[in-house]
């Protein structure tokens, strides 16, 4: 069985579609933990509506805004099942996403973190591009010091295996997934991406605002400590400059690079 975890903050525009994409999964055996992080829009009303019609939904209503990272760990602490599935409040899971991921994990007990390809969509749900990532664990480890090789919202992972890593580092409010994958690689936790498009990933103006300097400095810090944990040779640590370069690029060029997405595999 799966524990699906979702943190929600002012997501009313896409929330219903996102929740329904989980409730309509072909794999039916899950609990769905939704944390409302003090939304000021109608998000809580939407969550409560679905909570009344589906008893698999567990609603947590924060009294103060905690942010994504803390909420993820909070949801994991409440999860009853060993498989933890990530979901964002503006994305759409393909109907057989969980069925395919659970079948793979049950047949491959050596894999602890499982992602997939995804489709980037705009605010209206139109497909912008295909987002592909390295597939095998060896390919992920080969590229992990250069780029984030896993699309965070596509992930299902084994709770007991990542528990020893402390799950997400609450020091980081952004890029928390990249920090976790770097720590997984350093501890030889095996990761894999299914070469199938199992999620529609929302890309909007807020997504491109990640070019902010504060975001990039967090990325740099995570890379710095991640490289140390991986014991990378110094010549490979040149990729510490990647966040800096992205931070000084003109917005139009940054957006173009993100749309082309250099994680694509052949």
Domains and CATH numbers, the chain: 1-89 (3.90.550.10), 91-266 (3.90.550.10)
Q: 43-58: buried (b, 16+ CB within 10 Å) or exposed (e) per residue? A: bbebbeebbeeeeebb
What pLDDT score does 266 carry?
Answer: 35
What pLDDT score does 265 carry?
Answer: 45
Along the 266 residues of the chain, how does pLDDT read in single tens digits?
Answer: 999 999 999 999 999 999 999 999 999 999 999 999 999 999 999 999 999 999 999 999 999 999 999 999 999 999 999 999 999 999 999 999 999 999 999 999 999 999 999 999 999 999 999 999 999 999 999 999 999 999 999 999 999 999 999 999 999 999 999 999 999 999 999 999 999 999 999 987 655 555 677 888 999 999 999 999 999 998 888 989 887 777 666 665 556 666 555 554 43
Separation CA 31–CA 79 (nearest Å): 8
Predicted model pTM = 0.91
Alpha helices, H only, the chain: 12-23, 43-53, 68-78, 97-107, 137-143, 159-162, 176-186, 205-208, 213-230, 242-248, 251-260
Separation CA 203–CA 155 (nearest Å): 18
* Contact criterion met (CB below 8 Å) for 33 and 79: yes
């Amino acid at each position: 069985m799966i524990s699906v975890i979702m943190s929600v903050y002012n997501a009313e525009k896409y929330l219903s579609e996102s929740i329904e994409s989980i409730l309509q999964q072909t794999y039916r055996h899950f609990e769905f933990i939704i944390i409302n992080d003090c939304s000021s829009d109608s998000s809580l009303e939407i969550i409560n509506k679905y909570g009344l019609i589906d008893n698999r939904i567990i609603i947590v209503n924060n009294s103060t805004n905690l942010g994504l990272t803390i909420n993820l760990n909070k949801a994991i602490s409440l999860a009853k099942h060993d498989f933890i599935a990530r979901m964002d409040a503006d994305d759409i899971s393909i109907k057989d996403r969980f069925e395919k991921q659970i079948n793979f994990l049950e047949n491959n007990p050596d894999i602890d973190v499982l992602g997939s390809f995804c489709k980037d969509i705009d605010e209206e749900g139109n497909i912008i591009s295909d987002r592909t990532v390295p597939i095998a664990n060896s390919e992920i480890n080969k590229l992990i010091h250069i780029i984030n090789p896993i699309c965070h919202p596509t992930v299902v992972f084994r709770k007991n295996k990542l528990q020893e890593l402390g799950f997400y580092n609450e020091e980081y409010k952004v890029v928390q997934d990249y920090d976790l994958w770097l720590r997984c690689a350093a501890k030889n936790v095996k990761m894999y991406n299914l070469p199938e498009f199992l999620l529609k990933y929302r890309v909007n103006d807020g997504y491109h605002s990640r070019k902010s300097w504060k975001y990039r400095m967090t990325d740099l810090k995570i890379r710095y400590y991640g490289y140390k944990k991986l014991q990378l040779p110094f010549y490979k640590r040149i990729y510490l400059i990647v966040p800096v370069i992205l931070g000084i690029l003109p917005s139009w060029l940054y957006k173009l690079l993100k749309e082309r997405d250099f994680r694509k595999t052949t």
